[in-house]
Amino acid sequence: MQKIFNFKKLTTLKDYRRDFLAQKDYRRDFLAQKDYRRDFLAKKDYRRDFLAQKDYRRDFL
C-alpha cells in the first residue's frame, strides 16, 4: 500500500514538473509576443521615416 502511494506521489510530482515546464513555454511565448510587438512598432517607425522622406523630397522639389 505504501509503495503504491509513493508511486502515485511521484507521478503527481512529474505532473507538476510538466506543468512548470509548460508555464515556462507560455513565458517564452509571451516574451516572443513582446518581441513581435517591438518589431511591429519598429516597422511603424520605418513607415514614419518613409513618409518624412517623402516630405523632404517635396521640399527639395
pLDDT in tens, the chain (61 residues): 555 556 666 667 777 777 777 777 777 777 777 777 777 777 777 778 888 887 777 777 6
Q: Residue 61, SS3?
A: coil
What is the structure's pLDDT at 34? 79
Separation of alpha carbons 51 and 45, rounded Å: 10
Separation of alpha carbons 61 and 45, rounded Å: 24
What is the structure's pLDDT at 15? 75
Torsion angles phi and psi, residue 45, rounded to 5: -65, -40
What is the structure's pLDDT at 38? 79
